[in-house]
Amino acid sequence: MLEAIVSGLLTFFLAPAAIILGRRLRVVGVDVHKPWRPIVPKTGGLAIILGATAGMILGAHASGFQLFIPVILSCLVAASIGLVEDLREEIDPRLKPLLLIFASLPVLVLGAYSPRPLIPFLGKTRLYRVYPVLVMASYPVICNAVNSLDVLNGSALLTSIPFLIMSSVIFYMRGDLQLLILSLIFLAAAVAMLPYNMYPARTFIGNSGSLFIGAGITSIAIMGSIEVAAIIALMPQIMNEMYVLFSIRGLKSAKNIGRRPVVVENGMLAASEDPDAPITLLRMICAGIKVDERRAVYAMALISAFAAFLGFLTHILLLGG
């Protein structure tokens, strides 16, 4: 478990340096859901990236967990794409999914997957030709889905933690030490960042942080053969992304949408009454009522926790653990 401890401690103690770096380089963003619209560094993801990567390198070197190597490479590819967006400007939303396919290549090239996923009522299937294509598609889908819920202070972390807890429990019950530690590494990094990213956020995790976590979640699901449980556990993120795509009619830059799903009224969040505004999970939570930002985040976390519980039950009851 030393790897997870290293991941959490490094993330926690590197976060202040990442905040200072963001301010000095002016890598900042506006917290639009607060009336005073504070300017917040969006470099917190660097601490998560360095902390979790250090934990995985330690596991690969000291414990001989070679499975960690493709995860490191996949996550760094995804994080690099996010870092470009954080440092410069948004990548064309039609190009971004294609770039995220490259995050799947370390897993595919190094053969760190089993083309026989467990499917309810069918058991192990044989998808030797189709499965690699599904792996390539999964990274853009999950990474963007995790990123799409990074809308409020702490929302991306609190909605990702339930999956990481679920996967940790499954791998513990299975007795798979390598995958258990991998899940705990990401869980420790996410928890360690919460004091800096929760309301009122001292830093955002940025696209680099959310895509890094998304790639880690995808890798864990694929390597651990818990694809079905992962899909169910990540349904809030996936459906949120689908709602956005359908409501704005395709892949579009946020700068070109112009309408926000929620508005700030007297410090509270309220759903936009504009019928052309994007449909999101947050907008549905605020529908008909005004919600405090912290309570909105807790609601999103609770929904994700319930989805993760359903994913766990599906894995245990229908797939036999």
What are the tokens at 175?
């007795």
Say how many CA atoms lie within 13 Å of 280 toward its Cβ.
22
Return d(Cα 117, Cα 113) in angstroms, integer.
9
Q: How many CB atoms lie within 10 A of CB 270?
A: 17
On the question of pLDDT at 96 being above 80, the answer is yes
On the question of pLDDT at 253 being above 60, the answer is no
Residue 299 host element (H or E): helix 293-313
Return d(Cα 185, Cα 6) in angstroms, integer.
8
In this prediction, residues 104-109 reach a mean pLDDT of: 95
- 221: nearest Cα among 71, 54, 46, 55: 71
The DSSP symbol for 37 reads -
What are the tokens at 79?
């994080």
- Stated pTM of the model: 0.94
Out of 32-36, 249-253, 280-284, least confident range: 249-253
Do you find a cis peptide bond into 16, omega within 30 degrees of 0?
A: no
On the question of pLDDT at 77 being above 70, the answer is yes
| Contact criterion met (CB below 8 Å) for 214 and 245 | no
In this prediction, residues 284-303 reach a mean pLDDT of: 94
Q: What is the mean pLDDT of the chain?
A: 91
Return d(Cα 164, Cα 146) in angstroms, integer.
13
Return d(Cα 298, Cα 296) in angstroms, integer.
5
In this prediction, residues 247-256 reach a mean pLDDT of: 61
Return d(Cα 104, Cα 97) in angstroms, integer.
12
In this prediction, residues 241-259 reach a mean pLDDT of: 70
Quick: pLDDT tens for 149-203: 999 999 999 999 999 999 999 999 999 999 999 999 999 999 999 999 999 999 9
On the question of pLDDT at 142 being above 80, the answer is yes
